[in-house]
Structure 1
Amino acid sequence: MQQQEASSRPQSSAYLNKLSLEIEKKLQRALASPSQRRNLLQELFADIALEVDDRAKDIILSRDEDAITPAEYGANGRLCFYDVLADYYIRSPDSGKPILDLIVQLWSQSFASHIFSLLFHKWLFEVQLDNAEVQLRYSSALVQGATNVFWMDIQSNTRCFQSLFQYLLDEVTLESTRLKKIPIQAQRDLYLLLSRFIFFYNSDILVIELADQLQKLKVEPVLLHYLSQVKILRGMELRMATSTRLKTCLYSFTSPGGPMYPTRAVRHAAWDALDFLFPGVTHDI
């Protein structure tokens, strides 16, 4: 049994190294064949965006100490090849260097920035880069590529690239040490990018923060403004816990007395917001 476990340990790294070599070969073919370049890059992009099949998952989730663990799955338990490879290129930067060099030579081609953003979004923030010009070039390519793939998700109403969005939101913009690794202009571009797509990928975080903010507001005109604007949330797909949290928050403003001590105008505005956001639903919390 111990021999079997020991022999399984190198499987994940060997498998990921093999995948990297295949990616490198396809990029070399694209570089050598201008007439087929776009098709080859599009094929490669589609390949790395695929969800990992069960057979490959068994290998990737092996006992190898470098293997990805179930806790590192992509968003909603969906594990794609780009998720696995992005982690691999942090642990083994040398394996990604030939691929990165080829992508740089193909910068101006369609799908090059898509591929870069999927494979190297973690590498950019977690591997030390000393050249400011290179950082700017890579961060610009990341924003461009991420913009393109997020639009693909919107146009197809899928969330294949949610783990990319979630990493950029949770591990970069909310983590100053990583965010500061890219130039100021790139930081601004990244904030703008995430703000454009946050309603699609993670509207819950906005609603949770809004509910917390509402309960801190004490100035009546400001609170009335918030309660009138909160109606834009109608129809938004939220987790049940988030929806209940918003409903509970609004309900706390409907009764006189503590802990909120709302004025008459605030109570009416809160009821209006509840009735608009949750029509036909009794407000027993």
Structure 2
Amino acid sequence: MLEASSTHRRSAYLNALTQEIEKKLQRALASPSQRRNLLQELFTDVALEIDDRARDIILSKEECMIYSAVDGANGQLCFYDVLADYYVRVPESGNHILDLIVHLWSQSFASHIFALLFHKWLFEVQIDSNEVLLRYSSALVQGATNVFWIDIQANTRRFQSLFRYLFEEVALEHKQINKIPGQVQRDLLLLLSRFIIFYNSADKLESFLKQFPVFPNAFLVGSPADFFVIELTDQLQKLKVEPVLLHYLSQIRVLQGMELRMATSTRLKACLYSFTSPGGPMYPTRAVRHAAWDALDFLYPVGQYPRHLISLFFRLLYPWYWPSSCWNFIMSCIKAVVYTLLGWVFSSWEKLRERTNS
């Protein structure tokens, strides 16, 4: 009896949320001047983290454990997570929302909302029309691209569950990814290639590359590994958030040993090298420069000393960088000496304590 009451309350709550989403979409459709603001507001609401009170209403204890296991890395459970599952279990509940979104396709944030609410529905519900399937799957890729970049700009992982579903449940499952048209499959795989490192899924990179279909220009570009590295290189050049760029540079070591075409390898090397020098066009910080050097030396150990000598020579051509370089060198030396002395003191103290105890 208690379980039935809890289920009814949960269903009523989700139905109420659905009605609120419908109302905001209807208002956006009826108010062209306020349309963008209303859709942005709705997107923000859907992406909100669920508070404890709402979590107790929406989820059972078993569901809480499941969501915690799936999303334990960042500890966030958002409304779109629960609503996406709800529209799979009860597909007819989202039909009106879907119709309204279709009328708002060309508007900002419409694809964002569709990707969050219907990314699971698209792969679980039968769609007979190829034209409709192409429209929906293309909107999914566009919306996912936009929301992942929102995470990049804010250096958060709010949409990590969306990425994990598309990566683990779709891209790595041959049956699932074949449900969408071939061109969209390729677009989705290239999209995921750009964000695998950001969402800490590089451990499944080998399995992911095996899922790549034959691309039309594969003869010119190369293997799936080449496609992946090209997308990753383009992503690195677009990143402007320092912590995110540092994360990419620290994790890019997974590329070690990967067989690449000479053109792809040169492209990656040139990209990393562009982050090693101060000034334009990248203007990397000192932390980024050192991270880029570490990645470059790790992936391309042959020729690392000549690279550093050439870099030093060019640094000498810009006298205005000398004071900061000298200061950083002196501070690094001081830190090294201090850490060495502290290590010696602690080791001596440990040896003295062992002798005393014995």
Q: TM-score, normalised by structure 2?
A: 0.57
Match of 2:119, SS state, is helix
Contact 1:124 1:138 in 2 (8 A): yes
Which of 89, 95, 102 aligns to 2:87? It is 89
Give the superposition deviation at 1:199. Answer: 1.2
Structure label with greater radius of gyration: 2
Match of 1:47, SS state, is helix
1:27-38 superposed matches below 5 A: 27-38=25-36
Match of 1:16 in 2: 14
1:64-85 Cα offsets, whole Å, 9 max, x none, are xxx9442134532321000000
Match of 2:185 in 1: 187
Instruction: Tell me how far apart the structure 2 counterparts of residues 128 and 69 of structure 1 sit (CA, whole Å).
Output: 28
Structure 2: state its 5+ residue gaps: 209-228, 234-244, 258-296, 302-335, 337-358
Match of 1:47 in 2: 45
Instruction: Tell me how far apart the structure 2 counterparts of residues 207 and 199 of structure 1 sit (CA, whole Å).
Output: 9
Instruction: Tell me how far apart the structure 1 counterparts of residues 178 and 66 of structure 2 sit (CA, whole Å).
Output: 27
Q: Which amino acid letter does the alignment assign opposite residue 17 of structure 1?
A: N
Match of 1:71 in 2: 66
Match of 2:108, SS state, is coil
Give the superposition deviation at 1:4. Answer: 3.5
Instruction: Tell me how far apart the structure 2 counterparts of residues 46 and 111 of structure 1 sit (CA, whole Å).
Output: 10
Deviates further, 171-180 or 70-79: 70-79
Distance 1:107 1:237, change over 3 A: closer
Contact 1:173 1:191 in 2 (8 A): yes
Distance 1:84 1:54, change over 3 A: same
Give the superposition deviation at 1:204. Answer: 3.8
Question: How many residue pairs are counted as aligned between the two chains?
Answer: 225
1:88-136 Cα offsets, whole Å, 9 max, x none, are 0000000000000000000000000000000000000111111100000
Percentage identity across aligned positions? 67
Distance 1:112 1:139, change over 3 A: same
Match of 1:202, SS state, is coil
Match of 1:10, SS state, is helix
Match of 1:121 in 2: 119
Match of 1:196, SS state, is helix
What CA RMSD, in Å, does the superposition of the two structures yield over aligned residues?
Answer: 3.2
Which of 165, 168, 174 aligns to 2:166? It is 168
Instruction: Tell me how far apart the structure 2 counterparts of residues 208 and 183 of structure 1 sit (CA, whole Å).
Output: 23
Which of 141, 144, 154 aligns to 2:152? It is 154
